[in-house]
Amino acid sequence: MKFYMTPGSCSTGIHIILEELEEVFEAHIVNLPAGDHFKPEYLAINPKSTIPALVRTDGGTLTEVVSIAYWLACNRGRGRLWPADADAASRALETMVYVVATVHGQGFARIFATPTFAASPSDHAKVEALGRDIVTQSFAIIDRALAGQDYVAGTFSAADPILFYVEFWADKTGIPLPSNLAAHYRRMLERPVVQRVLREEGYNLALLGVAQSRPN
């Protein structure tokens, strides 16, 4: 398979899933600041001009984080990254959709792509502040759902790397994680696969999780 990704982005979650499943794949870096996602060769693969994209061995292409995560979890590694129990599977899917659509799409998008939401520079601080509020409120909801369990669906599943990528963003942008999310983030950082992926994507593990280990 061919995996089109940008280090440190939402594609990191998919990268972790691929490595957890011990998949063989080619990684292709899409340089977003350079506009690689708008180049004709990438648009031929993914006309949405988004990342990530996964070209499967049958030639078909999957886009969208939730879709790729779900397909990998159900169809690779004998389905071991997708819960067999319907309630647990529903929790996993619910969390992935909420992370991508709300925490990422409504919250962090306002922080990372502020001008997209406000043309006037005078409004940028307000837009970014709203983004941080959305992230904080969303984290509080997920934190309550995580109470009493180590992972989103009880045991490790594809939902956890997807939740991890926004926890990682929170760490990088100085947004405190509530206690259950902070514990989940540290738990993920301890996984050998996560450590390997972060190193491959150019991150210093010694600098991660330090702020989140302090009491909120």
pLDDT at 211 over 80: no
What pLDDT is stored for residue 214 in this prediction?
56
What pLDDT is stored for residue 79 in this prediction?
93
* Structural domain containing residue 141: 86-213
The residue from 49, 79, 109 where one domain ends is 79
Quick: pLDDT tens for 49-63. 999 999 999 999 999
Structural domain tally of the chain? 2
Q: Let me know whether 55 and 152 are in one domain.
A: no
Q: Let me know whether 66 and 91 are in one domain.
A: no
Quick: pLDDT tens for 70-88. 999 999 999 999 999 999 9
pLDDT band of residue 123 (cuts 50, 70, 90) is: very high
The residue from 35, 60, 79 where one domain ends is 79
Q: Let me know whether 187 and 102 are in one domain.
A: yes
HSE of 153, CA atoms in CB hemisphere, 13 A: 25
Mean pLDDT for all residues in the chain: 96
Q: Tally Cβ neighbours within 10 Å of residue 128.
A: 17
Q: Let me know whether 207 and 110 are in one domain.
A: yes
Gap between the Cα atoms of 79 and 69, Å rounded: 11
- Cβ–Cβ under 8 Å, residues 108 and 141: no
Quick: pLDDT tens for 27-46. 999 999 999 999 999 999 99
Structure tokens at 71: 């397909």
Location of structure tokens 């997807």: 162
pLDDT band of residue 106 (cuts 50, 70, 90) is: very high
Considering only CA atoms, which of 63, 101, 103, 57 is closest in space to residue 76? 57
Can you tell me the mean pLDDT for 81-99? 97
Quick: pLDDT tens for 107-120. 999 999 999 999 99
The residue from 22, 52, 79 where one domain ends is 79
Gap between the Cα atoms of 21 and 61, Å rounded: 19
What pLDDT is stored for residue 213 in this prediction?
62
Quick: pLDDT tens for 142-164. 999 999 999 999 999 999 999 99
Q: Let me know whether 93 and 66 are in one domain.
A: no
CATH of the domain at 107: 1.20.1050.10
Q: What is the dihedral of CA 174, 142, 102, 70, to 10 degrees?
A: 110
pLDDT band of residue 183 (cuts 50, 70, 90) is: very high
Sign for the CA dihedral angle at 131, 133, 136, 138 comes to negative
Gap between the Cα atoms of 13 and 150, Å rounded: 18
